[in-house]
């Protein structure tokens, strides 16, 4: 039950009645009319912008239009007050029975409450996509958690989602990996090695070298690099991907598709980059030309030469982009276009890439490319994740000895656990730098959001256990409370606040999914848990407000119904974030 959608429909019906009566002209664009929570809850339960957004088009004073609309809405028995505020906002106060229906819907639907069926085709979310050259670091973890939570969020909103990992296994960096692993292979055979500048120094490659030695003995030592390099490269990539998959599993992340970059120019699908260039040529989007020099200091690899170019500026990019290097090989951009075209050909009409903040310059060109290859049928949203600063009690954390260059994600998982990482990675918008303090995220206090929200969910069960002890033999199941709890006794401001928050959940879920912003769920959960904790604390000082009161079974059953409904919302939101909803805190 989404009361915002319900009353948005009611407001539009009222506007249509005003049009029929001649109070408003015909042909108004009602799509801009919204119903939202008021900024100040004391002003009412809902607010609509209808008078503000329609006044100019209707050639009327917004306040006068608002008064006419408010008068029409007052005829609805579900609306007990409709008042015009400021320049034309209309605040609505609803009959209490509306919120009682919300509680019953939440009890009836359980964790399915608030789930929607948003329109749209298939969605492909590509996230993590760390180079397979070592274990994942904390920065990878942020993109991984964000992408996974966004996928969960879109599934909750009714979308068909594919979770994809792009394996960067075709660039020069995997040859560096192979040479690094070959050194560890020689070390496993008894040689003393030194790792030169430019190779990967981390100890994580020691097991790869040992496994190579077990598999091949000393046979690789007699081969030239041209023979052992592809063999070792494949072996090392497989080993690194096994490590990455294990790290992802430890944080609760799975992918439906692992797409190999190397297959773009070979494999069962043929040369997909060549097919892309042919398709672009057929559209007249490839030409031979020269690019102007980039502004500022020229990059060392810039060449003033005639090149094969894609007309990306035709689709909103700043300049056209090269598709071939001077040696005739494909540019990274050409491969990226071919990969995104492949996603579209597999049926995805909405593409989402979750990337590091250093990919900001990539956004316009790829959005242009997706528009070009799909004839505008697909759209691309690129979500950039800012850096993570890892701290312990306010002090920067030193690099991991095992990784050699950074702190591994697995080290952090082992120290603070999956739930703390996932929640805190989502408790800040993805494009803002995140300070992740290993000491703070395990505190049991209000200052630790993940603890505070999980404690709110655990309180749901604590209250139920307390009620069963105080009222033995009474049926306190959700079904029983749904059937006969008298919700009219819920009149305290704290109870009304909890009911309002439960009513907001479907709207929060839908708006977060539409905006691709899972942090909205984390913020909402903290506010909702806070309302439960605040009401619980009021009961300590005011016995008549205690949730469990054996001498007043009527209020006890009503409050248990409210807490059960609120707890279901907390469990649902935590599931979207991929965080557990414990029955008790230990």
- For 148, 345, 484, the CA distances from 111, given in Å and listed in that order, are 19, 35, 21
The length of the chain in residues reads 586
Select from 512, 525, 508 the least CA-distant residue to 457. 525
Q: Which residues of 303-320 are buried (b: 16+ CB within 10 A; e: fewer)?
A: eeeebbbbbbeebebeeb
Q: 65 in helix, strand or coil?
A: helix
Rounded to whole angstroms, the Cα distance separating 426 from 142 reads: 8
Rounded to whole angstroms, the Cα distance separating 463 from 474 reads: 14
- CATH 3.30.1360.70 in the chain, residues? 3-94
Would you place residue 417 in the very low, low, confident or very high pLDDT band (cuts 50, 70, 90)? very high
Rounded to whole angstroms, the Cα distance separating 237 from 568 reads: 43
Phi and psi angles of residue 420, each rounded to the nearest 5 degrees, phi first = -65, -40
Please, is 93 exposed, middle or buried when counting C-beta atoms within 10 Å of its C-beta (0-12, 13-18, 19+)?
A: middle
User: Mean per-residue pLDDT for 358-370?
Assistant: 91
Would you place residue 359 in the very low, low, confident or very high pLDDT band (cuts 50, 70, 90)? confident
State residue 131's pLDDT score.
86
State residue 400's pLDDT score.
61
Give 16's DSSP letter: H
State residue 567's pLDDT score.
95
State residue 50's pLDDT score.
94
Instruction: Write the CB contacts of 530 (distance below 8 Å, at least 6 apart in sequence).
Output: 446, 452, 456
State residue 138's pLDDT score.
87
Give 472's DSSP letter: T
Instruction: Write the CB contacts of 322 (distance below 8 Å, at least 6 apart in sequence).
Output: 291, 307, 308, 309, 310, 331, 333
Q: 123 in helix, strand or coil?
A: strand
Give 517's DSSP letter: -
Q: Which residues of 266-293 are buried (b: 16+ CB within 10 A; e: fewer)?
A: eeeeebbbebbbebbeeeebbeeeebee
Residue with tokens 């809902």: 46
CATH 3.30.200.210 for the 449-577 domain, yes or no: no
Percent of the chain with pLDDT over 90: 73
* CB count in 10 Å sphere of residue 359: 14
What digits encode the pLDDT tens for the residues 180-233? Answer: 999 999 999 999 989 999 998 888 999 999 999 999 999 999 999 999 999 999
Phi and psi angles of residue 437, each rounded to the nearest 5 degrees, phi first = -100, 115
**Low-confidence winner among 174-183, 289-298, 369-378 (lowest mean pLDDT):** 289-298
With contact defined as beta carbons under 8 Å apart, do 462 and 567 qualify? no
CATH 3.40.190.10 for the 3-94 domain, yes or no: no
Would you place residue 401 in the very low, low, confident or very high pLDDT band (cuts 50, 70, 90)? low
Give 265's DSSP letter: B
* Number of alpha carbons in the 13 Å side-chain half-sphere of residue 312: 23
Scanning 90-219, the segments in alpha helix (DSSP H) are 96-109, 138-156, 172-188, 206-216
- CATH 1.10.730.10 in the chain, residues? 449-577
Would you place residue 398 in the very low, low, confident or very high pLDDT band (cuts 50, 70, 90)? confident
Rounded to whole angstroms, the Cα distance separating 504 from 579 reads: 21
Rounded to whole angstroms, the Cα distance separating 403 from 395 reads: 20
Rounded to whole angstroms, the Cα distance separating 492 from 549 reads: 15
User: Mean per-residue pLDDT for 84-107?
Assistant: 93
Rounded to whole angstroms, the Cα distance separating 438 from 448 reads: 11
Question: Would the pLDDT of 491 be above 70?
Answer: yes
Would you place residue 571 in the very low, low, confident or very high pLDDT band (cuts 50, 70, 90)? very high
State residue 183's pLDDT score.
96
Phi and psi angles of residue 106, each rounded to the nearest 5 degrees, phi first = -65, -40
Question: Which DSSP helix (H) or strand (E) runs through 479?
Answer: helix 478-484
Question: Would the pLDDT of 561 be above 60?
Answer: yes
With contact defined as beta carbons under 8 Å apart, do 124 and 162 qualify? yes
With contact defined as beta carbons under 8 Å apart, do 496 and 99 qualify? yes
Question: Would the pLDDT of 402 be above 80?
Answer: no
Question: Would the pLDDT of 85 be above 80?
Answer: yes
With contact defined as beta carbons under 8 Å apart, do 92 and 48 qualify? yes
- For 12, 35, 85, 499, the CA distances from 39, given in Å and listed in that order, are 22, 12, 12, 17
Residue/partner pairs of 56-59 with CB below 8 Å, 24 or more apart: 57/28, 57/29, 58/24, 58/25, 58/28, 59/25
State residue 303's pLDDT score.
74
Please, is 120 exposed, middle or buried when counting C-beta atoms within 10 Å of its C-beta (0-12, 13-18, 19+)?
A: middle
Q: Which residues of 490-507 are buried (b: 16+ CB within 10 A; e: fewer)?
A: bebebbebbbbbbbbbbb
What digits encode the pLDDT tens for the residues 426-456? Answer: 999 999 999 998 888 988 888 899 999 999 9
Percent of the chain with pLDDT over 70: 98
Q: 366 in helix, strand or coil?
A: helix
- What mean pLDDT value characterizes the chain? 92
* CB count in 10 Å sphere of residue 201: 15
What digits encode the pLDDT tens for the residues 112-166? Answer: 899 988 888 999 999 998 889 888 888 889 999 999 999 999 999 999 999 999 9
- For 129, 426, 427, 524, the CA distances from 521, given in Å and listed in that order, are 25, 9, 9, 5
User: Mean per-residue pLDDT for 411-417?
Assistant: 91
With contact defined as beta carbons under 8 Å apart, do 457 and 419 qualify? no
Report the sign of the C-alpha dihedral through residues 407, 408, 412, 414, in that order. Answer: negative
User: Mean per-residue pLDDT for 301-319?
Assistant: 87
């Amino acid at each position: 039950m989404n009361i915002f959608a319900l009353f948005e429909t009611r407001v539009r019906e009222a506007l249509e009645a005003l049009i029929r009566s001649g109070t408003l002209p015909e042909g108004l664009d009602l799509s801009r009319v919204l119903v939202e929570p008021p900024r100040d809850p004391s002003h009412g339960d809902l607010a609509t912008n209808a008078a503000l957004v329609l006044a100019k088009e209707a050639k009327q004073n917004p306040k006068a239009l608002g008064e006419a609309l408010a008068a029409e809405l007052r005829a609805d028995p579900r609306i007990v007050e409709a008042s015009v505020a400021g320049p034309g906002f209309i605040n609505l106060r609803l009959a209490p029975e509306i919120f009682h229906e919300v509680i019953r819907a939440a009890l009836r639907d359980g964790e399915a409450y608030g789930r929607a069926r948003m329109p749209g085709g298939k969605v492909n979310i590509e996230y993590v996509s760390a180079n397979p050259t070592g274990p994942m670091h904390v920065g990878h973890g942020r993109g991984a958690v964000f992408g996974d939570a966004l996928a969960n969020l879109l599934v909750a909103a009714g979308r068909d989602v594919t979770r994809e990992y792009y394996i960067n296994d075709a660039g020069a960096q995997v040859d560096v990996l192979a040479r690094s692993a070959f050194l560890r292979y020689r070390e496993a055979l008894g040689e003393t090695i030194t790792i030169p500048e430019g190779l990967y120094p981390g100890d994580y490659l020691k097991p790869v070298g040992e496994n190579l030695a077990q598999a091949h003995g000393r046979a690789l030592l007699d081969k030239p690099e041209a023979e052992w390099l592809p063999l070792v490269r494949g072996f090392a990539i497989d080993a690194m991907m096994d490590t990455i998959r294990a790290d992802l599993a430890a944080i609760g992340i799975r992918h439906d598709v692992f797409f190999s970059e190397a297959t773009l120019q070979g494999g069962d699908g043929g040369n997909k980059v060549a097919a892309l260039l042919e398709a672009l040529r057929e559209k007249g989007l490839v030409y031979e030309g020269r690019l102007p020099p980039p502004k500022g200091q020229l990059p060392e690899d810039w060449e003033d030469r005639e090149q094969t170019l894609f007309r990306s500026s035709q689709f909103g990019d700043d300049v056209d982009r090269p598709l071939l290097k001077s040696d005739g090989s494909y540019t990274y951009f050409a491969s990226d276009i071919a990969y995104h075209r492949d996603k579209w050909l597999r049926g995805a009409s909405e593409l989402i890439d979750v990337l590091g903040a250093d990919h900001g310059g990539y956004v316009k060109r790829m959005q242009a490319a997706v528009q070009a290859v799909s004839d505008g049928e697909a759209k691309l949203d690129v979500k950039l994740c800012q850096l993570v600063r890892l701290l312990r009690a306010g002090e920067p954390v030193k690099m991991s000895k095992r990784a050699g260059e950074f702190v591994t994600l697995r080290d952090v998982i082992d120290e603070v656990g999956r739930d703390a990482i996932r929640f805190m990675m989502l408790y800040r918008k993805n494009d803002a730098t995140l300070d992740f303090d290993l000491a703070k995220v395990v505190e049991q206090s209000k200052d630790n959001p993940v603890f505070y929200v999980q404690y709110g969910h655990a309180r749901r069960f604590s209250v139920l256990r307390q009620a069963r002890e105080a009222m033995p033999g009474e049926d306190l199941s959700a079904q029983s409370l749904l059937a006969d709890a008298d919700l009219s006794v819920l009149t305290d401001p704290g109870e009304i606040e909890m009911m309002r928050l439960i009513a907001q959940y479907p709207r929060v879920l839908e708006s977060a999914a539409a905006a691709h912003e899972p942090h909205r769920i984390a913020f909402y959960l903290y506010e909702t848990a806070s309302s439960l904790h605040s009401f619980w604390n009021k009961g300590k000082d005011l016995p008549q407000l205690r949730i469990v009161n054996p001498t007043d079974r009527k209020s006890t059953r009503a409050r248990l119904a409210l807490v059960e409904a609120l707890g279901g919302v907390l469990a649902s939101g935590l599931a979207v974030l991929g965080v557990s909803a414990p029955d008790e805190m230990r």
